[in-house]
Structure 1
Amino acid sequence: MSPCVSLVVPAYNAEHYLAEALDSLLAQDYGNLEIIVVNDGSTDRTASILEGYADQVVVLQQSNQGQSASLNRAWQQASGDILGYLSADDRLEPNAVSKLVAALAEDEQRMLVYPDYWLIDHEGRRLKQIIAPAFDHFEVVINGFCPVGPGALLRRCVLEQIGGWDARLRLIPDWDFLLRVGLCGKVYHYPETLAAFRVHEQSQTFRAPDEQRAAEYTIAVQSFFSRSDVPASLARQQFRSLANTQVLTARLHLLARRWRKAAGALIEASRCWPGWPTRYRNLKLLANGLFGLPRLRARNALRAWLRQRLDQPSRR
């Protein structure tokens, strides 16, 4: 019998895209699937939308506690030996679960599998195909890299070994989790595009975080290196890791136009590892902090103008 898979959708004020996300899960060709939605204290139409799915999904109601607490609660109550989650504005291809379950079954040492994915806009149009790189724990820990996008599945035993998502973190709990997952066993990249990640102005990718959330990279790195099971090869690179995560912190301050805070983070990065400016990715991150949101707005405005022009009847 196929193993039970439990997919969790944390939903906070998700009225615009929730139905699309749930429909993509209900369209899966994998039979033994449990869908759990956590309404995390929404104040919009999320609750009424979920009423229409009451006989198809499990709905958990709670006051607003954040994505991490929502996932941890739902995973604890889930029936599946294989677990996953989907953001309420993303979606999966119909064969995603079946293919990823098969990939897990091929090697019992694989603890987590993740696919390639599409970037889509607020209307669901495909913008770009993302070919995710293979998982490299060194890159994740030292360079702040997060190769795993939507659609990932993991074995329940991973949670039993390292715990769930850190409820203190609201911005980067997924990256913090990957830091620890890399200590458990193999993390496998499945080379097929099976999910879609939505990019819009309200998405976390472009939302300017407050100062508390901008500090989460430092919290996550310090917590990881305090573990007793961190390999010596990684422990020796702790200050380089701290420097690179300070660059990530600076990017978040730039998004929020907190110039002094951004400068302070870069000064701290230089104290930890003076070589941080030699990494092209660090410079690219800073450019994204400066120009990422304006670029998205300009691109959306151009597309809207082009669609309007194309929809107008031709004049003779």
Structure 2
Amino acid sequence: MKQIAIVICNYNYERFIAEAIDSALAQDYPGTRVIVIDDGSTDRSREIIESYGSRIEPVFKENGGQVSAYNLGVEILDTEFAIFLDSDDVLYPGTVSEVMRQFEQHGVAKVQFRLDVVDDAGNLTGAYVPNTEPPADCASLLKKGWLYPSPPASGNAYRVGALKRVFPVPESGINRYGADFYAIYGAALTGSVATISRSLGAYRVHRSTTPSVSFANSEQITKAPKAFRERWATLRDIAHERLNLELPSAFHDFAHEKAYFGSSLYQAPVGARWRWMLNESRAYLHSIVANPFWSLKKKAGTLFLSSLCLLPYSPLSDFVIRYITNPLARRGTVEQ
């Protein structure tokens, strides 16, 4: 039987690590191993991890950031397949069996599946990610600079051989975090992607109930765009040096562009909103109009909503911006 490892990378998540480990141990696929890499936690994480004894394979390291944990995880993996599960997320029962069926049937480099978005307490918010399915051949679009729709880290399973062609990734600067960026897009450059269009796990968010344009756990909305640009540059270098592939200098991604849109227009005076739309919205509009993953109806709807932010009534403008940038704000719940 082919083996798969669930690698749980943890840092100071004593509140959630047991739930993540339990969800991994509860998988019914017999060839499942559970590896827990603790990145130098200073809370009770180590005590909790050690309490599982031989049921898991613990790895304790000095703190170096998420990328260093992924680098170590990929290095020590000796299974054919792997899932990198964030320590505050969970997998639903039967996830691994479904993922392995996809690998057997399609021979892909990566299998991705939807994740339900839950709040800090684990309650369902009614949202899920991603909301759009990519084609199997994501590499051809990546070569044109388009980042394909993917769930966050925990919603992806990889052929380990694909990961070993991409990792290790440089660990300095912006690359302390965002390791899943390289796994998600790097693996797709080595082979096809299969998508399971139902939720097989839960992605936890850690925000308040205050309405916001933020839709990211790990980085502030004003920092995320710069981080993405630097990671894309690093991925280009990796693709060139290790995969003999050339990626364009710039990339296109609505999630990235809406971060600029939201941070620039939210709670801004009407004049500033108009100036941004007239002078700085080219990339944002391109990510809508030319989006290869969206239907014409979705493009038209997003353009219409975007135009409403130019109205002089600020409460309506701010609502529209939150609606576009943060799907959870539409439900009056927490934001991602």
Question: TM-score, length-normalised on structure 1?
Answer: 0.73
| Structure 1 residues 252 and 223, CA gap change in structure 2 (3 angstroms) | farther
Q: CA deviation digits over 1:108-130, x for unaligned, max 9? A: 2x011011221112222222253
Aligned: 1:17 with 2:27: no
Residues 185 and 144 (structure 1), Cα distance of their counterparts in 2 relative to 1, 3 Å cut: closer
Further displaced range: 171-180 or 18-27: 171-180
Hey, what does 2:164 align to over in structure 1? 160
Say which SS state the counterpart of residue 55 (structure 2) adopts. Answer: coil
Contact 1:100 1:153 in 2 (8 A): yes
Closer, same or farther: CA 12–159 of 1 in aligned 2, 3 Å? same
For residues 23-102 of structure 1, the aligned pairs below 5 Å read 23-102=22-101
1:1-316 equivalent positions in 2, closer than 5 A: 2-108=1-107, 110-128=108-126, 130=128, 132=130, 133-136=132-135, 137=138, 142-149=145-152, 150-168=154-172, 169-201=175-207, 205-206=216-217, 208-209=219-220, 215-226=226-237, 227-228=239-240, 229-230=244-245, 235=248, 238-239=249-250, 241=251, 247=257, 250=260, 270=280, 273=283, 275-276=285-286, 279=289, 287-288=321-322, 292=326, 295=329, 299=333
Structure 2: 5+ residue stretches without partners: 209-213, 268-272, 290-298, 310-319
Which amino acid is 1:223 matched to? T
1:152–1:164 distance in 2 versus 1, CA, 3 Å:
farther
* Seq. identity, %: 20
Residue aligning to 2:312: none
Contact 1:39 1:61 in 2 (8 A): yes
Closer, same or farther: CA 243–92 of 1 in aligned 2, 3 Å? closer
Give the corresponding residue for 1:313.
none
**Structure 1 residue 79: deviation in Å?**
3.0
Report the AA paired with residue 65 of structure 2. G
Residues 62/278 of structure 1: CA separation in 2 closer, same or farther (3 Å cut): closer
Cα distance in 1 for residues equivalent to 2:113 and 2:328: 29
Cα distance, 1:43–1:288 mapped onto 2, change above 3 Å: farther
Change (3 A) 1:296 1:60: farther
Q: CA deviation at 1:139?
A: 5.8
**How far apart are the structure 2 equivalents of 1:30 and 1:222?**
38
Matched-pair contact (CA < 8 Å) for 2:129–2:151? no
**When the two structures are superposed, what TM-score results if normalisation uses the length of structure 2?**
0.69
Whole-angstrom distance in 1 between the partners of 2:215 and 2:17: 16
